[in-house]
Amino acid sequence: MQSTTISEESDKYNRDEQVEMKVASSASDSGAASISDLKAQTKRQRLRARVQFATVCGSMYLAGWNDGSTGPLLPRIQTVYGLNFAVVSLVFVFACVGFLSGAFANLYLDSKFGFGKVIVLGSACQVIAYAIEAGALPFPAFVLGYAINGFGMALQDAQSNGFVASLKDNPEMKMGILHAVYGAGALSSPLVATQFAQLPHWSFHYLCSLGVAFINTVLLVAVFGLKTQDECLAQIGQPAGEKGTSEKSQFSQIFRLREVHLLAFFILIYVGVEVTVGGWMVTYIIDVRGGGPSSGYISSGFFGGLMIGRVGLLWVNKKVGERRVLFIYSILAIGLELVVWLVPSLIGGGVAISIIGVILGPMYPIAMNHTVRILPEWLVTGSIGWIAGFGQAGSALLPFLTGIIASKTGIKSLQPFLISMMAFMTVLWALVPRTARRIE
């Protein structure tokens, strides 16, 4: 009886083992097929990831193109409309209003409509703005175009930075490349704007800008298809990021973080310094150093240095440490700005301005990478969107303050103003926490 039971159990064990082997064999075959499919899918995903990243870089190229255009055209705008430094600076005021409203609107629009629709809306706003500016309408209408442009740029800046910060594949390098492309746009636009500034139809430069903005809009629609960020990331095989469990709204959580506000003001001062150098420096070189109409190319030299620094100094950032190296860059930039101020040499000043661009270049990507490190994952995209959008207002605020001061004391005040802003920017960076703190 016992022998029979043992025999039955043995037969049952053998049958179960055969079934398991068959299942394992079948699973192995299907697994091999799925691995093959995964390899093919990964290749497609990598290609799509490159296309997505290149398209986002196109938005930053447009932002750089816009910021690099103002400097060479500013003296011509001042002459055509018969304006002093204070009044012509209204272009920066209206742009600042656009940037700030765009930064606030982005927090609502992103949660309501998602990445794809918001970034396309931003690019479409720039198409409208350039169409207004190209007509060289009366000055009130002309500066209205700057407000619409600023709104669109804030949306695109926020979405582009947030998207790249969410990538898992080498985001530090991609952030550097993203902002190097901004530098490429700011490098190329003064080459065109300087030529148009000397032509009767100077405002036709904005037709070139309109063409760039229109191409950017078409590419954004074609590549992202008005989808949300999670849907776009899913297309490249990246799962959705961690979600917060707090009952408070994302808006409320972001605005409760001291780190976010410190970084936002740091970026505001940084972008303001960057655009003030690229914009008002042309007027400074013409009025103080006796430069000719070709002085607009100095702006290209500065933004060219910016582009080179954001990629060429990546190895320095990694070796020294991003937080520490930013202090070194700040001190060097202040020293070179003193050279531009105190050494009365046109060529020497131009070279120093280009090197300042190289040194300032890595600062923006470093700040964005640090934001990713110290903030909770579920707040990174929204926080970077706010920091980038709010910070973009600096590209209007500081140039406007420069114009106000210059209208009273002359453009010679540019250098001490820039040095004081660089020092303030360094203090803000020192106040930003170096490590993440536990956030509920």
pLDDT at 29: 42
- Would you place residue 246 in the very low, low, confident or very high pLDDT band (cuts 50, 70, 90)? low
Check residue 214 and give its pLDDT. Answer: 96
Q: What is the mean pLDDT of residues 310-322?
A: 86
Q: How far apart are CA 119 and CA 60, in angstroms?
A: 11
Least confident span in 52-66, 153-167, 245-259, 389-403: 245-259
Residue 57: pLDDT band (50, 70, 90) is: very high
Please give the mean pLDDT across all residues of the chain. Answer: 83
Q: What is the CATH number of domain 48-238+251-431?
A: 1.20.1250.20
CA pair distance 413, 71, nearest whole angstrom: 17
CA distances from 284 to 88, 166, 245, 274, 400 (A): 15, 40, 53, 15, 15
CB 106 within 8 A of CB 154: yes
What mean pLDDT is predicted for residues 77-88? 86
Provide the residue ranges of all domains of the chain, joining segments of one domain with +: 48-238+251-431
Find out whether 60 and 164 touch, Cβ atoms under 8 Å: no
Confidence of residue 10 (pLDDT cuts 50, 70, 90): very low
Task: Please tell me the number of Cα atoms within 13 Å of 65 on its side-chain side.
Answer: 21
Q: Which residue reads 């994952």 in tokens?
A: 377
Give percent of the chain above pLDDT 90.
32
pLDDT (tens digit, 9 = 90+) per residue, 126-176?
999 999 999 889 999 999 999 999 999 989 988 998 898 888 888 888 888
* Per-residue confidence band for 249, with pLDDT thresholds at 50, 70 and 90: low
pLDDT digits (tens, 9 = 90+) for 318-370: 888 888 999 999 999 999 999 999 888 888 888 999 999 999 989 998 998 89
pLDDT at 303 over 50: yes
Do 419 and 334 contact (CB within 8 A), yes or no?
yes
Which segment of 14-23, 89-98, 290-299 scores lowest on mean pLDDT? 14-23
All residues at 6 or more sequence positions from 429 whose CB lies less than 8 Å from its CB, including other chains: 266, 326, 327, 330, 367
pLDDT for the residue numbered 240: 65
For the chain, the first-to-last Cα distance in angstroms comes to 66
pLDDT in tens, 95-110: 888 988 988 888 888 8
CA–chain centroid gap for 133, Å, is 24
Q: In sequence order, which ranges of 82-170 are alpha helices (DSSP H)?
A: 85-88, 90-113, 115-134, 139-165
| pLDDT (0 to 100) of residue 148 | 95
252 pLDDT band, cuts 50/70/90, is confident
* pLDDT at residue 9 in the model: 45
For residue 61, give the nearest of 275, 307, 242, 277 by alpha carbon: 307
Q: Which residue shows structure tokens 């309109």? A: 210
CB 127 within 8 A of CB 30: no
pLDDT at 52: 93
Positive or negative, the CA dihedral 13, 16, 22, 24 is: negative
Cβ within 8 Å of residue 40, ≥6 positions away: none
Buried b (16+ CB within 10 A) or exposed e, 236-273: bbbeeeeeeeeeeebeebbeebebbebbbbbbbbbbbb
What pLDDT does residue 169 have? 81
Tens of pLDDT, residue by residue over 181-200, are: 988 888 888 888 888 988 88
Q: What three-state secondary structure class fits 414?
A: helix
pLDDT at 34 over 50: no
**Cα separation, 110 vs 108, whole angstroms:** 6
Determine the pLDDT at residue 242: 57
120: pLDDT confidence band, cut at 50, 70 and 90?
A: very high
